[in-house]
Chains A and B, each alone.
Chain A
């Protein structure tokens, strides 16, 4: 496999008043293309911070985040936005759908940043909704959908621009067990059938079981565990 991400000597510190808080220090890791990684760890261990650094929505205090040879941590705000729209799909715990837009319109949002024709955008939206099995709810607004359906729309939005990597922050944290399993099966499908690299932060060991690799982050260090 080829390395998609290389994190070298990564540190993240926050300053709260006069106090400096270290989240992790000199963290090194590689994420291979096509991996499905579950990152687990206690609250405050830096799981979400790590995800933010991978997605280029936060910058490290020191060290580097490299994705396919691109120093993500060095990109300007404008280039970072462009890089995110082309390479990363985000899946949130609370879905973060636009309440005024229909499911299809929510999925179409990332495509507004492309030069695709309206017809092509519609086609891609339909395909994305079909992949997550929610095409029959295309015209519904988020408030008219269940939690599981909203998360499927969130996943469709994440994959519609065909990014290389999906970053999921507690994607099943707001769902019941059976709905969570359905969502996780969808993620597994995207990983196995469409070769999407997925990095998922979760507290749930059952959810982590769907990943090909589990990383436990504790006190700024990783402990890896390969899943069957």
Chain B
């Protein structure tokens, strides 16, 4: 036996109470870990520093004229441009959502150089309009292989010929060397889409541009937006990071909401755990008196009580963080290819452990100070 045994035994003397306390703390850190990971993703989404996105100024669901594509490429500082339309695809059942874009294949892989695939697959996809390129995550999700013919339907568009689905051959399966949004999407030819869709084929969803240098981003953005100012479809050009953030912020001021939720949960749990610890130590007044009688010094007793609280907080917190990691993995599996993985980063884990220690110290401080000040005589008269 050592002092740690003493701490552990005392901590679990009332199993129901300890379990409930652990659960409370675990919930707090489950929230902290999961929402913190989302928060970080919100604030720092994956991005390429020289990639810009041009949208309709009203919002991203409004189309842009196809004619803009050629005009904007004349703006100084742009080295590559491509375009995409949101296809709204699904596979067999509407619930099998497939993030899918109708793109211009060759230029798309120029503006997204991190998307890689074998050269022959790339060549085949670019040259054949009935081909599709699938991101590796979605191909794995549905068990697709190169050569498979996939019926892809849209929850937005219908075919002009009345057929239900676009029959596409999986000609390429690509992977991404970076955590890019859309890295798991299905890509189909814009030309095929334009010719076969019953509507929407004469406009574009958004443009993706590469600039020579990140320092030119602002002047290029201004140049494009000025070019289409006062037109029927004004544009708004921003960096990919700003675009991703703006997209996510349509759900509200997520960061603020998350901070408030985490903060409220923490304060509530801090009060509950702190109060319970005070009561738990008060119940053991006589035992603390016995320890002091046996020769345990005041600061040793202070340390034992504080260690209990810190141990409880660390244990509950780590359980919570583990649950958060599991929850994020489950969410990733559910979301499929729509977003890059949202993970608990080292920074979040480290700050969580720091918070666990702080939490343990705060909740343990009052009972530990009471134990420190307790006189042996008083302990036996109270006990």
Contact = CB atoms under 8 A, between A and B. Distances in A.
B295 A85 contact: yes
B377 A96 contact: no
Contacts of B294: 84-85, 90, 109-110, 113, 157
Interface string B115-137: 00000000000000000000000
Contacts of A98: 9, 287, 290
A82 B376 contact: no
Contact of B292 (A81, A100, A105, A112): A81
Interface in A99-149: 99-101, 105, 108-110, 112-113, 118, 121
Contacts of A90: 293-294
Interface of A: 52, 55, 57-58, 77-78, 81-82, 84-86, 90, 92, 96, 98-101, 105, 108-110, 112-113, 118, 121, 157
Given A100-B13, A105-B5, A112-B2, A81 B287 contact: no
A157 B13 CA distance: 21
Interface string B1-24: 111011001101100000000000
A112 B5 CA distance: 11
B148 to A, nearest CB: 63
Nearest to B383: A96
Nearest to B290: A96
Contact of A96 (B1, B6, B286, B299): B286
Counting chain A CB atoms within 10 Å of each CB, the highest count among B13, B293, B295, B299 belongs to B295
Contacts, number: 64
B47 interface: no
Q: Identify whether the interface residues of A are mostly helix, strand, loop, or mixed.
A: helix
B285 to A, nearest CB: 12
B293 A55 contact: yes
B40 interface: no
A177 B120 CA distance: 98
B377 A58 contact: yes
B298 interface: yes
A14 to B, nearest CB: 10
Nearest to A77: B298
B379 to A, nearest CB: 9
B228 to A, nearest CB: 75
B105 to A, nearest CB: 69
10 contacts: A57-B293, A57-B376, A58-B377, A78-B297, A81-B292, A81-B297, A100-B10, A109-B6, A112-B3, A113-B296
A85 B291 CA distance: 10
Interface in B348-383: 376-377
B164 to A, nearest CB: 69
A92 B12 CA distance: 25
A157 B290 CA distance: 11
Bin the interface of chain B by size: 20 to 34
A72 to B, nearest CB: 13
Interface in B289-313: 290-299
A163 to B, nearest CB: 10
B297 A105 contact: no
A43 B13 CA distance: 35
A27 to B, nearest CB: 18
A77 B293 contact: no
B293 A99 contact: no
Given A57-B376, A96-B286, A105-B1, A81 B9 contact: no
B18 to A, nearest CB: 11
Interface in B161-175: none
Contacts of B290: 92, 96, 98
B297 A82 contact: yes
Contacts of A82: 295, 297
A106 to B, nearest CB: 10
A185 to B, nearest CB: 25
Nearest to A154: B290
Nearest to B2: A112
A110 B6 CA distance: 12
Given A78-B299, A96-B287, 12 more contacts: A52-B376, A57-B377, A78-B297, A81-B298, A84-B293, A96-B286, A100-B12, A109-B291, A112-B3, A112-B6, A118-B2, A121-B1
B9 A101 contact: yes
B9 A100 contact: yes
Interface string B270-298: 00000000000000001100111111111
Given A96-B290, A99-B13, A110 B377 contact: no
Contacts of B295: 81-82, 84-86, 110, 113
Nearest to B286: A96
Nearest to B295: A85
B19 to A, nearest CB: 16
Given A57-B376, A58-B377, A78 B298 contact: yes
Contacts of B12: 100
Nearest to A110: B294
Interface in B24-55: none
Chain A to chain B: the 4 pairs with minimum beta-carbon distance, closest first: A85-B295, A100-B9, A57-B376, A81-B297
Contacts of B376: 52, 57-58
B151 to A, nearest CB: 65
